[in-house]
Amino acid sequence: MKEIKLKEIRDQCIALQKAMDASRKSKVDDVWLHSSFKTFMRKYNEILAKAQEVINIRAPVDMYNLEKVPSAFDTVTIEQRIYFDEVYTNLLILKAFVETTGGLDEVEADNILNFLKANLRKAIYDTPQNEKTIQNGIESLLIGKGKQKGIDYDRETGRVKVAGKESIPDFVFKNHSMVLEVKICNRSGKLAEIIDEMNADIVAYSSGYEFIYFLIYDLGYIRDEDEVIKGLEISDNIKCFIVKH
């Protein structure tokens, strides 16, 4: 029950964040761009109050006394901008705290992983020749599940630079601080190369994402799945699964 309530609160945070983003982008040349700050402040207060009923909020967030906050008619544009940005920052902190404290990121990330593990093979009709075929199959499943590109996930974006080298994850799920890397084992000796790639990916993506998940699509060259998985899953935030063709 607690997890369900926290998920609702997290979803409300995301919805309010999107509304504030849309408001800020809708009329960039308008001097009164941030005049709706008090409406967003009120909505943020409501979400924070709900969160306080479920968990102890130890994050550095503010509850606004709306009676003491002036209206848009009693403020100048710079004051409106300051209020707007304050609410936005508080909202992001609250969202991150709810996700971390409630373990929602890991639950949602695991749900995605389990869904792909159970359904990917059925989405690959012919023997795949490259990783892109597997990626296309994954994207088809995500779309079929109602996920929207650019909102729920992104593909080949979110580049990370480590030691002068740039890495671009195959799939990024920003709402869950998760990346998914896809590999295909299609010949003898390829597994060793894949493991080297994955170890490099772990180093690169650990700086920008909380969860790093790997999917290996095997065409019959991996004998001991458990050994491969155990060797890579060095923490709870790093997971690997193998799908057999």
Residue 149's domain comprises: 104-244
- Per-residue pLDDT band for 33 (boundaries 50, 70, 90) equals confident
Q: What pLDDT is attached to residue 103? A: 60
- Overall domain count for the chain: 2
Same domain, 149 and 31: no
Q: Do 55 and 96 share a structural domain?
A: yes
98 shares a domain with 24: yes
Residue ending a domain, among 102, 125, 150, is 102
CATH number, position 108: 3.40.1350
Return the pLDDT at 138. 95
Q: Which residue has the tokens 């890991």?
A: 106
| pLDDT over 90 (residue 216) | yes
What pLDDT band is residue 38 in, cutting at 50, 70 and 90?
very high
Q: Write the DSSP assignment of 36-50 as a string of letters.
A: THHHHHHHHHHHHHH
pLDDT tens per residue, range 85-128: 999 999 999 998 888 777 666 777 788 888 998 999 999 989 99
Residue 212, CA atoms < 13 Å, CB-side half-sphere: 19
Q: Is the dihedral of CA 189, 121, 7, 169 positive or negative?
A: positive
> 228 with 151, same domain?
yes
Same domain (yes/no): 138, 86: no
Are residues 184 and 111 part of one domain?
Answer: yes
In 3D, which of 187, 131, 124 has the Cα closest to residue 155?
A: 131
Question: Which of 55, 75, 102 marks a domain boundary?
Answer: 102
Using the predicted structure, report yes or no on whether residue 45 has a pLDDT greater than 90.
yes
**CB contact at 8 A, 101 and 3:** no
Does residue 207 sit in the same domain as residue 154?
yes
Between residues 220 and 30, the one the model is more confident about = 220
pLDDT in tens, 141-152: 999 988 888 888
Residues 201-216 have a mean pLDDT of: 89
Shared domain for 95 and 120, answered yes or no, is: no
In this structure, of 7-11, 26-30, 215-219, the range with the lowest mean pLDDT score is: 26-30
**157 lies in the same domain as 63:** no
pLDDT of the residue at 187: 92
Are both 108 and 95 inside the same structural domain?
no
**Residue 243 burial by Cβ neighbours in a 10 Å radius (0-12, 13-18, 19+):** middle
Q: Which residue has the higher pLDDT, 69 or 25?
A: 69
Question: Do 163 and 216 belong to one domain?
Answer: yes
Q: What is the mean pLDDT of residues 178-200?
A: 92
- The β-bridge relationship of strands 211-218 and 154-155 is unpaired
Final residue belonging to a domain, choices 68, 102, 136: 102
Are residue 81 and residue 126 in the same domain, yes or no?
A: no
**pLDDT over 90, % of the chain:** 52
Q: How far apart (Å, rounded) are the C-alpha atoms in residues 157 and 141? A: 19
Radius of gyration of the chain (CA): 22
Q: Please give the residue that has the higher pLDDT: either 147 or 166.
A: 147
| pLDDT attached to residue 231 | 77
Q: Are 240 and 228 in contact (CB under 8 A)?
A: yes
